[in-house]
Amino acid sequence: MAGFAVNLEYLFKHKDEVTMPYKAGYEEDKFLKSLKLRLEDVEPKARNCTEILVYHTQTKKTKSPDINFSPIHQLSSPSTSNIGHLFRFMESAGISHFTSSKG
């Protein structure tokens, strides 16, 4: 995880290009790349522009959890909820895996 700030004027000016795609472990990287920043777009602000302060923590790789999705947990009417879409997104993004035998 990294800490940074993005100027809202810049963000609104490029709103059609900027995305927040999700890929486990690459959240900030994908967002920052979508900004397509040039060196002249970057403004160091720390301590009267004399330092660039950054913190970065390494995301620990862990096995995605298994979620038990047996018929008991299924919704009777998919049109009343977006839970099915959410589950499919979570699995495609590598956030979790679905099983009917464990979890």
**Catalytic (active-site) positions:** 28
Q: What is the pLDDT of residues 14-50, one digit of tens each?
A: 888 888 777 777 777 788 888 888 878 877 676 676 6
Position 55 confidence tier, pLDDT thresholds 50, 70, 90: low
CB atoms within 10 A of CB 90: 17
Q: For 23, list phi and psi in degrees, rounded to 5.
A: -140, 125
Q: What is the pLDDT of residues 58-91, one digit of tens each?
A: 666 677 777 776 554 454 455 556 777 777 777 7
- Residue 25 in tokens: 């472990």
Helix boundaries (H) for 2-102: 8-13, 27-35, 83-92
What is residue 75's predicted lDDT score, i.e. its pLDDT? 47
CA distances from 2 to 14, 39, 43 (A): 22, 19, 17
